[in-house]
Amino acid sequence: MAWTGYENLNSFMEGLKKSDELVEIDKEMDPGLEIAHLLKALGDRGGPAVLFNNVRGFLGAKMVGNIMGHRRRIAMALGTDELRLTDTFVERVQQRIAPTEVDDGPVKDIVIKEPDVNLTKSLPAMIHHEKDAAPYLTCAVTFARDPETGLQSMGMHRIQILSKNTMTICLASPPLAGFLAKAQKMDKDLEVAVALGSDPGTMIASVVWCPSGVDKLEIAGALNQQSVKIIPAETVHLRMPSQAQYIIEGVIHPNELAGEKQFGDSSGIYVKDVVSPVIHVTSLSHRGSPIFQELQTWSAEDDALFDLSFGSKMLQDAKQIFPFVLDVCLAKGTCAAQANVKFAPVAAAYRRAAICYILSTNPFIKSVIAVDEDIDPRNPSEVEWALATRFQADRDLILIPNLQGSIIDPSAGPSGITCKMGIDANYPKEKEAEFEKIDVPEDVKKRVSKILEQHYKG
Ligand SMILES: Cc1cc2nc3c(=O)[nH]c(=O)nc-3n(C[C@H](O)[C@H](O)[C@H](O)COP(=O)(O)O)c2cc1C
């Protein structure tokens, strides 16, 4: 029977639970730091998603986190396994399944319109780090229309709650940043609507790099292998996923900006002095029993999403010019700044060309470690072993100064100008015997892994 994906967060959570990929915590926990740190610590251990049944200060509210915190669970969302995840993802992102319009959906169980909206009371929005100055929505998917063409699309953008009915939104990447720029030029308001707790395809598609002019909900449908059901928003001219947990609607005035309060970002540092557009909220809708979805920043979930979306794009682009590039893994905790790249055997000069190309694909990437086919780029100990045994800094190091880097790298120069680094940790193939990795035969590995599975779950 053909696999049909998950329609909403609830059915995905049921699937995760059946596969021991979701645990429930009944103990009361504080959305100010405790839940955030638990999500970080669990993600670091490769642990499951968590449903918090008792959120302090929000009687009856449920919160879920670490949903996409491991490639295992992202693979489950796409009905595949870890080994086939990248290929399945790349294939589906090129397909399109248009959303289907429906008249009603569970996200409209409760509809609250201004002046009755009170975000601070209705949402158990979290404080994520010790020095964060305000609660943020970290995995909100925001929808808007291109003011010129009317095309609707979406993206994941961090949102800070300022008051009972205002929020700032960090609109730094396309397509939404482009929509706002056009609205500003035309001196028009930009209507937006934010979905919290989306179906897995919508969440993943929101961070997919795609050509302009595409409605990312069509990619969400392709990822889920079923059309996303959409309903008209209440107060803005947008179509929203009917199966979401919450929808917040509002308007951005073209030239109104507000300072975002300090916040610990995906890069692992506190961002300060950021000025962002303001959303004036017009309505809040939600399910009868909504589940508030949380994503801890600088965590395994951030890593997994960056690796999937940015890493797969880098791999696809590099492969077109350099077919000997086999895999790209964005290293954990680096916010897409370091790529471990696996190469098929090829002359060093071609490898160096590919390293320089990958370093120039986007501003976030700062270093590339090139490894051989026998190294798993997703295993930090193997990458470090390759560095220890196959790399000589005076021979294999590439430095390219004065390139555009990330503007949030505090070690970079003015406007993010940075020095990028390539490390070629491949061995010369004519000396294979000197570099052979010690190992045991595959049949022994298989037998031992069965014994391990019976005795140790880690
Ligand atoms: C975990 C995560 C958080 C993100 N947060 C933001 C954000 O706060 N602001 C922003 O402009 N882009 C953010 N992005 C990037 C965009 O949502 C999206 O990935 C990017 O725009 C790529 O798609 P595009 O082709 O539409 O540019 C985030 C991406 C990820 C993976």
pLDDT digits (tens, 9 = 90+) for 69-118: 999 999 999 999 999 999 999 999 999 999 999 999 999 999 999 999 99
Instruction: State how far the alpha carbon of 276 is from the alpha carbons of 159, 188, 191, in Å.
Output: 10, 17, 16
Q: Which two tokens stand for residue 384?
A: 């470090």
Q: Whose CA is nearest to atom 18 of ligand 1?
A: 207
34 close to 70: Cβ distance less than 8 angstroms: no
As a CATH number, domain 9-294 is: 2.30.110.10
What average pLDDT does the segment 420-424 reach? 98
CA angle 243, 310, 291 (to 5 degrees): 25
pLDDT tens, position by position, 116-157: 999 999 999 999 999 999 999 999 999 999 999 999 999 999
Ligand 1 pocket test: which of 128, 139, 173, 407 has the largest number of ligand atoms within 8 Å of its C-beta? 173
Range of weakest confidence among 177-181, 203-207, 211-215, 323-327? 211-215
List, as one string, the DSSP characters of 207-274.
T----TT--HHHHHHHHHTSPPEEEE-SSSS-EEETT-SEEEEEEEEEEEEEEPPPEE-TTSSEE-S-
Rounded (10°) CA dihedral 183, 282, 258, 149 = -10
Could you state, in order of their start, the residue ranges of all structural domains in the chain?
9-294, 322-455
By DSSP bridging, strand 239-241 and strand 270-271 are: unpaired
Q: Is the pLDDT of residue 200 over 80?
A: yes
CA of 342 to the centre of ligand 1 (A): 25
- 322-455 topology per CATH: UbiD C-terminal domain-like (3.40.1670)
Indicate if the pLDDT at residue 285 is higher than 70: yes
Per-residue pLDDT band at 1 (split at 50, 70, 90):
low
For the Cβ of 236 lying below 6 angstroms from any atom of ligand 1, the answer is no
pLDDT in tens, 351-397: 999 999 999 999 999 999 999 999 999 999 999 999 999 999 999 99
Mean pLDDT of 332-342: 97
R_g over Cα of the chain: 23
Taking the C-alpha atoms of residue 7 and residue 4, their distance in angstroms, rounded to an integer, is 9
Largest CA distance in the chain: 74
- Please indicate whether residue 172, judged by its CB atom, sits closer than 6 Å to ligand 1: yes
- Pull the structure tokens for residue 402: 């004065």
The proportion of the chain whose per-residue pLDDT surpasses 70, expressed as a percent, equals 100
C-alpha 404/C-alpha 366 separation (Å) is 10
Q: Cβ(340) to ligand 1 under 6 A?
A: no
Mean pLDDT of the chain: 96
Can you tell me which atom of ligand 1 is nearest the CA of 207? Answer: 19
**Integer CA distances (angstroms), 126 to 35, 182, 273, in order:** 8, 32, 21
Using the atom order of ligand 1, give the atom closest to the CA of residue 156: 17
Is the pLDDT reported for residue 458 higher than 80? Answer: no
Tokens of 74: 């992202």
